[in-house]
Structure 1
Amino acid sequence: MIEAHPSGGYILEELSVGMTAEKRVTVTEARISQFAQASDDFNPVHMDETFASKTAYRGRIAHGLLSASFGSAVVGTILPGAGAIYLSQTLTFHKPVRIGDVAVSRVTVATVDEAAARIVLRCEVHVGDDLVMDGEATVRVPRRRRPAK
Structure 2
Amino acid sequence: MTHREDGYILPELSVGMSAEIEITVTEARIQRFAEASDDFNPVHTDEDFARRTPYRGRIAHGLLSASFGSAVVGTKLPGAGAIYLSQTLSFHKPVRIGDVVVARVEVIAIDEASARVTLRTECLVGGEVVMDGEALVRVPRRRKPG
Equivalent residue, structure 1, for 2:58: 60
Query: Within 5 A, what are the aligned runs for 1:137-148?
Result: 137-148=135-146
Match of 1:46 among 38, 44, 47: 44
1:5 aligns with 2:26: no
Q: TM-score, normalised by structure 2?
A: 0.98
Return 5+ residue gaps in structure 1 as ranges.
none
Q: TM-score, normalised by structure 1?
A: 0.96
Runs of 4 or more off by more than 2 Å in structure 1? Answer: none
Equivalent residue, structure 2, for 1:25: 23
SS in structure 2 opposite 1:79? coil
CA distance in 2, matches of 1:5, 1:129: 26
CA distance in 1, matches of 2:78, 2:127: 25
Q: Name the amino acid aligned to 2:33.
A: F
CA distance in 1, matches of 2:36, 2:127: 30
Q: Name the amino acid aligned to 1:31.
A: R
Residue identity over aligned pairs, in percent, reads 73
CA distance in 2, matches of 1:100, 1:55: 19
Pairwise CA RMSD: 0.6
Q: Structure 1 residue 146: deviation in Å?
A: 1.4
Q: Name the amino acid aligned to 1:103.
A: V
Match of 1:111 among 74, 84, 109: 109
CA distance in 2, matches of 1:129, 1:5: 26
Return 5+ residue gaps in structure 2 as ranges.
none
Equivalent residue, structure 2, for 1:34: 32
Q: Structure 1 residue 43: deviation in Å?
A: 0.1
Equivalent residue, structure 2, for 1:82: 80
Equivalent pairs, count = 146
